[in-house]
Amino acid sequence: MNESSDLPPWLEFFTFSNVNVTFVFLGCVLLGMSTGVLGCFAFLRKRSLLGDALAHAALPGVCAAFLLTGTKNPLIILGGAMVSCWMGALSVELIVRYTRCKEDSALGMVLSVFFGVGIVLLTYIQRTGEAAQAGLDKFLFGQAAALVDRDVWTLGILSVLILVVVAIAYKEFKLFSFDPEFAAGIGLPVRLIEIILATLIVVAVGIGLQAVGVVLMAAMLVTPAAGARYWTERLGVMLVAAGSFGALSGGLGAYISYLSPKMPTGPWMVVAATILFVISFTFAPRRGVLPRVLRHFRFRRRTAEENVLRTLYLLGEPLGQWNDSFSTNELLQYRSMPTAQLAHTLNRLIHKALVKEPAQGRYALTDFGVTRAARVTRLHRLWELYLTRKLEIAPDHVHDDAEEIEHILTPELELRLEALLEHPDEDPHASRIPGRFVPGESGG
């Protein structure tokens, strides 16, 4: 695949001096982009397995087209694959509509039966010994390196057609994917939209068979969409991200195959898409595992800090001396927590100027700390009062719930609670509720 050049292979690839390399690269990028975008709608409608079923259902169509024509013309093979895919999709619908089988069972049956028929036909063709049949087995796992100019033109035109249709019908596809009942209610041709989406998936499966193959084609429909979902809540952004992930996967698959010619392009496209999915799953800002773990860690740390602040506040409340100092033993008697955690929490509060430097092992709130502690106490007592007044829960059963809620109440909810409770002064236990403007009060 490499031509003589002064450049190293890893850099020579980007010159695209080799025409075959260019065809493979363009074909894989276009395929990844179109399947990534289209896969978003299947993913959102929870019909990801449909792509897998249709990909396997395409094999008997490929074999039948060859048996009828004796040629491997890409348009003829694609036509056979699409007819077979449509028969598979129709079979799924008929099974679901006229039997008691659920959709997942119907998809599994169609996948296995059609794929089994395809393997039987492929075995028969191979035993005929006909020279023209060479390479048909590549449709199982794909062979992107065999793409030639007419293959790329076919793939490119159909990929662009898929993207154009998605762009034109974006609003209808969006509404149908999220709320098909509402779409039908406002007069949209839901049945037609479903047929168009199924047709686009059939076309995408058909054009991807030669590059990725029957077995792995479903991964190119689902994986980029699943990865893109971690980055956004907006469908438009998801489509762009999924198309980019698919295109990048296609490019990486072609690049790795170029550097190591014995490495198949299709499987490496799937591996690249999977790597991008794992990166999204791990690092996406809102939905990724690592950011979620970090947010949980920060929330637990903030909760511990607010609990210690409120404990210092409550210890000083009986005498109205909120700046009094207390030992760790006194804190632990009131607030049950590991000694090491208490020490770390106090150090963080000192660093944030909420607690004063310890004097003889005793800790006291700063003025700023009193303000923060008073607000936490205020939220706790407002919620206790809400539970007793509005939900009629006994006063001795509201403390634990308030211990959790006090850390997540926002200023907006605080104002709503205050208005709903008619600006109360005391909680259910006759303890004073600190005002919102604590600095203006004498200690809280």
* Domains of the chain, residue spans: 9-284, 293-440
Query: Given pLDDT bands bounded at 50, 70 and 90, which one contains residue 133?
Result: low
Statement: residue 443 has pLDDT above 80: no
CATH superfamily ID and name for 9-284: ABC transporter involved in vitamin B12 uptake, BtuC (1.10.3470.10)
What mean pLDDT comes out for the span 10-28?
81
Whether the pLDDT of residue 144 is over 70: the answer is: no
Structure tokens belonging to residue 192: 């037609």
Query: Looking at 12-16, 21-25, 398-402, which range is the least confident one?
Result: 12-16
User: Which residue did the predictor score with more confidence, 262 or 397?
Assistant: 397
Q: Which of 94-98, 149-153, 312-316, 342-346 has the lowest mean pLDDT?
A: 149-153
Mean pLDDT along residues 82-110:
88
The conformation of residue 435, written as its DSSP 8-state character, comes to: P
Q: Which of 43-52, 225-234, 253-262, 435-444 holds the top average pLDDT?
A: 225-234
Q: Residue 440 pLDDT more than 80?
A: no
Residue 356 identity (one-letter amino acid): K
Element (DSSP H or E) covering residue 327: strand 325-327
Q: Is the confidence at residue 441, as pLDDT, over 50?
A: no
Residue 230 structure tokens: 């971690």
Amino acid at 435: G
Name the residue type at position 400. Answer: D
Q: Report residue 137's pLDDT band, with 50, 70 and 90 as the boundaries.
A: low
pLDDT greater than 60 at residue 1: no
Q: Distance from CA of residue 410 to its chain's centroid?
A: 28
**Quick one: pLDDT at residue 288?**
94
- Residue 73 token pair: 């013309």
User: pLDDT category, 2, cuts 50, 70, 90?
Assistant: very low
pLDDT value at 214 more than 90: no
CA–CA separation, 374 vs 443, rounded Å?
A: 9
**pLDDT tens string 282-300:** 999 989 999 999 999 999 9
Asked whether the domain spanning 293-440 has the same topology as the one spanning 9-284, the reply is no
131 secondary structure, DSSP code: G
Q: What is the mean pLDDT of residues 388-410?
A: 91
Top CATH class of 293-440 equals mainly alpha
Tell me the β-bridge partners of 364: 325
Q: Does the structure show a pLDDT above 50 at 220?
A: yes
Q: Can you tell me the distance from the alpha carbon of 242 to that of 198, in angstroms, rounded to the nearest whole number? A: 19
Regarding predicted confidence, which is higher, 315 or 3? 315
Q: Kindly indicate the confidence band of residue 136, based on its pLDDT and cuts at 50, 70 and 90.
A: low
pLDDT(131) > 60: no
